[in-house]
């Protein structure tokens, strides 16, 4: 995890920001093995993500930071909830 975090902060995060993404977080789970982040884009997210991965800069990341990832999960959330959390 330490190596992944170092590469994420030094290489992935700046490149995502340079490609117009916003980042709210990152977080590491209490298990020390789970990494989560919220990534946004004001335009068409899918098109921006495709352009990011197709960019010379991303393809040039060597070694590929994704080598640290055993599994990835993606959830798309289009707008914040307008309903308060239960009990509030």
Tens of pLDDT, residue by residue over 15-70, are 999 999 999 989 999 999 999 999 999 999 999 999 999 999 999 999 999 999 99
Tell me: pLDDT of 82 over 90.
no
Instruction: Identify which of 47, 40, 45, 49 has the alpha carbon closest to the alpha carbon of residue 22.
Output: 40
pLDDT score at 87: 66
pLDDT, greater one: 45 or 83: 45
Beta bridge partners of 23: 39
Per DSSP, helices labelled H in 1-88 are 2-7, 13-18, 45-54, 56-59
pTM of the model: 0.82
Tell me: pLDDT of 76 over 80.
yes
pLDDT score at 81: 74
Do the beta carbons of residue 68 and residue 34 sit within 8 Å? no
C-alpha distance from residue 35 to each of 38, 44, 82, 84, 86 (Å): 11, 24, 27, 26, 27
């Amino acid at each position: 995890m330490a190596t992944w975090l170092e590469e994420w902060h030094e290489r992935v995060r700046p490149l995502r920001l340079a490609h117009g993404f916003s980042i709210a977080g990152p977080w590491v789970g209490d298990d020390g093995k789970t990494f989560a982040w919220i990534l946004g884009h004001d335009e068409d997210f899918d098109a921006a993500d495709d352009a990011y991965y197709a960019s010379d800069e991303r393809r040039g990341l060597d070694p590929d930071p994704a080598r640290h990832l055993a599994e990835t999960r993606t959830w798309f959330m289009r707008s914040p909830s307008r309903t308060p959390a239960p009990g509030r």
